[in-house]
Amino acid sequence: MIAHSSGNRGVGDHAGAGAGRNSDAKKQLERTGRDVVVLAISFVALVLFVGTGGTVIPQAIRWLQGIGLPPDRVLSNALLLNIALIIFGWRRYRDLTDQVQERSRAEERARLLAETDPLTGCLNRRSVCAAIEELRNAAGRRGEQVAVLVFDLDNFKRLNDCNGHAAGDAVLRESARRLQAVLPQGSLTARLGGDEFACAIPFDPARPEVVERIAAQLLETLSAPVESAGVKLEGLSISLGLARFDIATGKAVTAQDLLHMADIAMYHAKKAGKDRYFWFEPQMESELRFRSELEAGIRHGVAHGEFVPFYEPQVDLKTGTISGFEMLARWQSPELGLVGPDLFIPIAEEIGVIGDLSESVIRQALQDAKEWDPALSLSVNISPVQLRDPWFAQKLLKLLVEANFPANRLEIEITESCLHENLGLVRSLIVSLKNQGVRISLDDFGTGYSSLAQLRSLPFDRIKIDRSFISTLASNSDSMTIVQAIASLGSGLGLPITAEGVEDSEVVDELRRMGEFKAQGYLYGRPAAAPDIEKRLAELGLLRKAQTLAFPSPTNAEQRAGTA
C-alpha cells in the first residue's frame, strides 16, 4: 500500500507539473494577445491623431489668438483620447523593449554558464571543442596551425585534502590566471574538470619551438607557490601533453581527437616522472591501449587466481645450505604468458588491487611453505601501498592463522622508501607483527634515506643489501666500500645481513671475507614455481614428507615392546 501510494503521488506530481506548464503557456499566450491588441490600438490612435490633430489643433490655435471659433468638442475629445492611447501604447512598447533586453541578458548569462567554468572563467569541456574548431579555421585562413596543450596539477588531490577545498579552489583560480597571462593573444583556455586544463595556441607550422617555449614557461610559472588565506602552498607542478592538427595519423583529426592525443601525451609525462611535457606520437596510443588491456587483465587475474608465488633460494654462506626462500609473485596470463612483477606490480598499486593480489599469493605461499622443513624461512615483500593500510597487520596475522603457519618462520621485507611516507603507522605495524613473532627485514638497504636513528628505533631483524651494490662488488671499489660499511653497521647493531643479486663465486668469496652473510641470486638458482622447489627440497631431504618417510612412526607392537 505504501509503495502504491507513493507511486500515485509521483504520477500526481508529474500531472501537476504538466498542468502548471500548460497554465503558464496559456497565460503567456494571453499576454501576447493583449500586447498585440494594445499595439494595434496605439497604431490606430496614432493614425487618428494625425487626422484629427490636423483639424483640431489649427482651430485651437486660431481660437486662442481670438481669430475664430473654438474647435469642435467631439473632435477635441477624440484628439485627447488619441493622445492618451498613444502614451499608453508607448509605455507598453517601452516595457516590452525592457523585457526583451532582460531576456537577452538572461540568455547571455545562461550561455556563459553553459559554456564557461564558473570558478576560473575559462571555457568548459562542453564548449571547448567548438571553440578549438573555430580557432583552427581562423588560423588556417592565415596559414597557421593550432597546437592543443592539456595538463593537470600533480598531486592536487593531496594538496586539496591537506589544506581544504578553499585552498584547492584558490590554486585552480591562480593557475587559470597564470595560464592566461602566459599564452599569446588569440589563444583560448578551458578547464576540462577537476584540476585538468586545456589551451589551444595558433602558431607558425615552421616554428614549433614557439609552442615548446610556451610549454616550458608554463611548467615554470605554474610551479610557483600560491598564497591562500595567509598560507603559502608549495610543491606544485604540472604534467603537460601537446598535440597539433597536422600530425600524421592517416585520418582527419577533429578537436576532440586532438584533446585525446594531448591527454595521452600528458599521461606519458606523468609516467616519466611528472613536471615535464611530451609531444604526442602515434605509438603512444598503442602503449596506452596496452596499458588499458594490462589493467583489465590484472583485475581479471586477481579475481581468477592467475597470480602465483615463485621462490628464490636464500643460502647461508657459512654452511652453504639453503636457509629459506623469498617469495616473488608471477602472473600466469593466458594472453601474455608468464609475466614478471616489474610489469604488473606498479600497475596493481595504481589501480588499487595490490592488497588483494598480495594476500592471494601470500595465502598460496604459506600453504606451500608448510610442506618444507620447519627450519626454512619464508620471506615476503610488502608494497608501500599496503603499509598505508592500518589493518594490514591484522590481515597478515589472519592469513597465518588460516594456514596454521608458524609466525616465526615468516619474514616481512619492507623497503626504505616506506619509512618516509608514514613512519608512525609503519612503526605500529612493525611492532604489532613483531609481538606475534613475525620477523622484519629492511629491504634494498643503501638505496634510500634510512638513518641510523631509524635503524635503532625500529625493531628490524635483518638488513638486505641492494643488488646494485652486490652485482658490482668485485669490479667497483665504491661498491666494495659501501658493502663493507653496511657489514660493519650490521655487526655493530646486531643485525644479520642478506646480500641480494649474487651471481658469481668471486662475489661470494668477497662476502665471506667481510663476515657472515646470507645470499640469494642466480648463482643459487632462479626463482621457480612451487612444484620445482618441492622437487629440489625432496632431493635435499628438506620436505616434511621426506622426513616422515625417513623416520617412520613406530608401530603399536614396537611401542609395546619398547615399553616392556
Q: pLDDT tens digits, residue range 269-318?
A: 998 889 999 999 888 888 888 888 999 999 999 999 999 999 999 999 99
User: To 5 degrees, how large is the angle CA 230–CA 233–CA 237?
Assistant: 155
Mean pLDDT along residues 94-99: 75
Average pLDDT value for the chain = 83
- Taking the C-alpha atoms of residue 122 and residue 110, their distance in angstroms, rounded to an integer, is 15
Tell me what pLDDT residue 557 has.
42
User: Which cell numbers in the block locate residue 211?
Assistant: 609552442
Calculate the alpha carbon distances from 530 to 286, 313, 536 in Å.
35, 12, 10
Of the listed ranges 24-38, 91-105, 471-485, 543-557, the one predicted with least confidence: 543-557
The band of 215, judged by pLDDT with boundaries at 50, 70 and 90, is: very high
> pLDDT value at position 489?
87
Question: Are residues 314 and 323 in contact, defined by beta-carbon separation less than 8 angstroms?
Answer: yes
Band the pLDDT of 200: cuts 50, 70, 90: very high
pLDDT given at position 249? 58
Q: Looking at residue 276, what is its pLDDT?
A: 94
Q: How many residues in total does the chain contain?
A: 564
Give the side-chain half-sphere CA count within 13 A for 243.
29
> What does the radius of gyration of the chain's CA atoms come to, in whole angstroms?
41
Q: State the average pLDDT over residues 320-335.
A: 95
pLDDT of amino acid 312: 96
Angle at 270 between CA 267 and CA 273, to 5 degrees: 150
97-133 b/e (C-beta count within 10 Å ≥ 16 → b): eeeeeeeeeeeeeeeeeeebbeebebbbeebbbebbb
What pLDDT is stored for residue 2 in this prediction?
35
Evaluate if residue 446 carries a pLDDT over 80. no
pLDDT of residue 4: 36
Q: Is 331 exposed, middle or buried (0-12, 13-18, 19+ CB in 10 A)?
A: buried
Structure-block grid coordinates of residue 38 = 494594445
Given this model, what pLDDT does residue 93 score? Answer: 72
In sequence order, what are the residues at sequence separation of 6 or more whose Cβ sits closer than 8 angstroms to the Cβ of residue 23? none
Element (H, E) at 528: strand 528-529
Separation of alpha carbons 41 and 323, rounded Å: 108
Tell me what percent of the residues of the chain surpass a pLDDT of 70: 78
Residue 472 C-beta-side C-alpha neighbours within 13 Å:
9
For the segment 469-492, the average pLDDT, to the nearest whole number, is 88
Q: Is the pLDDT assigned to residue 444 strictly greater than 90?
A: no
pLDDT tens, 345-367? 999 998 999 999 999 999 999 99
- Give the strands of the sheet with 123-124, arranged side by side: 123-124, 188-193, 196-203, 145-153, 238-244, 277-279
At 554, the pLDDT band (50, 70, 90 cuts) reads very low
pLDDT for residue 34: 59
* Section 375-400 average pLDDT: 93
Measuring CA to CA, which residue among 461, 458, 448, 338 is closest to residue 410? 461
Confidence of residue 5 (pLDDT cuts 50, 70, 90): very low
Those residues with Cβ within 8 angstroms of residue 367's Cβ, 6 or more apart along the chain or in another chain: 403
Give the cell for residue 337: 604468458
Residue 560 confidence (pLDDT): 41
Q: Which of 83-87, 481-485, 554-558 has the lowest mean pLDDT?
A: 554-558
Max distance between CA atoms of the chain, in angstroms, equals 167
In order of 131, 145, 245, the CA distances from 256 in angstroms are 11, 16, 11
pLDDT of residue 19: 47
Give the helix/strand (H/E) hosting 150. Answer: strand 145-153
pLDDT above 60 (res 562): no
Residue 208 pLDDT more than 90?
no
How crowded is residue 273: how many other Cβ atoms within 10 Å of its Cβ? 9
Lowest-confidence region among 24-33, 66-75, 148-157, 235-244: 24-33
Q: What pLDDT, in 10s, does the model give residues 525-540?
A: 999 999 999 999 999 9
> What are the phi and psi torsion angles at 527 (to 5°)?
-55, 135
Of 24-33, 225-234, 340-349, which range is least confident? 24-33
Q: What is the DSSP string of 128-149?
A: HHHHHHHHHHHHHHTT-EEEEE
SS (H, E, C) 481-502: HHHHHHHHHHHHHCCCEEEECC
Amino acid at 520: Q
At residue 320, the 3 state secondary structure works out as: coil
